[in-house]
Structure 1
Amino acid sequence: MTATVASPETALQAIAAWGLPGASGIELPPESDEPGFAGRLQQTRLTGPLLAAAASGDVELSPELEADLVERQHGALLWCIQLEVRLLEVREAFDAAGGVEHLVIKGPAIAHLDALDPSVRTFADVDLLVAAHDIDRAVAVLTAMGGTLPWAERRNGFDRRFAKSVTPTLPDGVEFDLHRTPADGVFGHRIPLDRLFADPDHFEIGGVSFGALSSKHRLLHSAYHLLLGSPQPALMNLRDLAGYLANGELGPDVVVPEAELWRGGAVLAMAVDLVAERLGVKVPAWVKWRAGYRLDPDEVVMVERHRREGSSLGRAKLDVAREMSLRDRAAYLTALAWPSKAHLEDRSLRRRDALASLIGVVRPAPR
């Protein structure tokens, strides 16, 4: 009987699931000492979990692989420190500008509040949830610090009313993703944003306290980001959600009522399915809830359409329009069909291109 040899893919999945319920042991592939494997670990941000697993005695690394991973993790953590320094500077600039209502989301918040140790969970940029009424001020602060935007606002007031996020990049390459809502499209539109700011958790960087989403909101945001953020969910994002699901204080009795307020039961259920399918992590309470939850076919269609189209102009953009007030719908569709001249120039589009694209979505060509 031939022994099964671990592949890089199965090894990465096992590393992502390390320490979580139902996870299999980590078996490194034969090529683990080659630079390509360490590079994949770095790309998927799983270097920290593998080093932590080795430190706990759950897997043995060759001296060559361990040295390579330590060097790579050292570089990643230096970048995280630079990001946190920039976060402190931006916070000071927000205060000097009269204050910007915001919470830290994703990478830094997860690292400081949920990881075994902040050094295990690296991140590539800084994400802030900014109250809609402060989006314009936040963008102005970042641009005054030298930040540049990928393109001009679609129309005046569009970002604070409809955009998922705005992303200024500082001169040193640090990106600040300023979110108006945690998700794009109809699913982001449904989230009761005021609730996210009502009961925040807190963590400290350099003696400064930062607000973050509450734990149940972090779980839901993790599910939304995992399912809706990309057609191919990242292993680190799978690990993030699996960790929340394994938290006994975040069972379905706590989280599902909040998901229902977001009208996001289907998003949560499909994200739970992804964790079980890709990582093999199954938490009994969530398995029981999922077995009794019936997916709405219409919601599934919208989720799949969102995942397929991403941020491009497609049918998913009309899904959200249908749930807006008449006034907002008119303003939103006008912005899609008739963007500002500056926006068109930044995206190398002509006026007729934007209008034709929207017409093509509303009235797709017959097959």
Structure 2
Amino acid sequence: MIKPTPNIRKTLFRSLKRDLMKEKTTILSIRFGLFFTVLLCQFAEAQLAVRNDAYVYVNDEIVFVEDDINLGEPASTIYLRTEAQIIQGIGTTGNSGEGALSVYQDGNVGAYEYNYWCSPTGLPAVATGNGLFGITLLNDIVDDVNSTSAGTTHQPGYNGTSAPLNIEPYWIWTYPAGTDYTGWVYAGGDATLIAPGYGFSMKGTVGSGENQNYDFRGKPNTGTISITVVNGSETLVGNPYPSAMDAHAYIWDAENRNVFDGVLRYWEQDPTTDSHNLASYDGGYTTYTIDEFSFVPTIVPAVFKTYNTDGTEAGNSGTTNTGKIPERYIPIGQGFKILANASGTLKAKNSHRVYEKESGGNSAFFKSANSKGKKLKIQFSQL
């Protein structure tokens, strides 16, 4: 069976909308490639609508929706599993509904190291538009379709745990704009919400290593997502969509190219340093950029630093970096820092979204170089 292209899928969903608008409720099973099933979908005004306790389960495939998604009631759900992704087109309606999209992403650090994240989902709401995100939207996976809210209870040792999942809230921070350590803003409170597109830091859990999975559940982000940046300041942002994002399209977008320096900065730490004390941190930023015309990436591996108690750099630590390599296609949930070279607005857009699996080797949550398959050919700059 020939695997459908995105254009075929686009046509399919348009035809489904026309057909299902005539029928109030339809049971429909469609198989693409490995497996893709739509169950009990009801289309109303939205191009893809899931109502009542109906669901859409997508396994290892792409769903393309030209305009909006409506997840009408709290039990209305879309499950993205085994590297499935959703891409939305040029429609400007915005997603709506009290239901949720569920998508997994795995952290790859222990309890003493940070990952930088950016949520692909926000708070469900009847109103159209992207929702705010908070750590209470993260879930602990029970089975393929069920999950429970992750714990966010502060522990005396400041460590998160994996079974059951309890995220240590002390390590949830954003970096809206700044030039030094004082730019970090605490975001770990249960009532603290983060605007779409902004990234956040989060440490892993005890003993989980690269095995800690998180279930992001909420209204899927879509459309143009704008971030305010300040000239000369860094901002923690990321991929805000439930699909991969093309770094080339993002960096060289006509509205972005003059707003920041075109470099994505990925944080990594020495995994052998088991301490929460800032003066014991040992880490640095691997940087990624890509040529506009040749598409050749330039990757500068992190030079690990030690830090003073006020967050300033104390000097090179001499520790060898972990060999982590960022890829062109930024995976779901990945956060990174950017440096603004003008005050203005940095934008993530649906036109930057692509369907690229992490297992393909060209998109990977910032992991060690040998944790995935074949990698892109890359150019390393001189340190």
- Per the normalisation by structure 2, the TM-score is 0.30
Higher helix share goes to which structure? Answer: 1
Higher strand share goes to which structure? Answer: 2
Which one has a bigger Cα radius of gyration? 1
- Per the normalisation by structure 1, the TM-score is 0.31
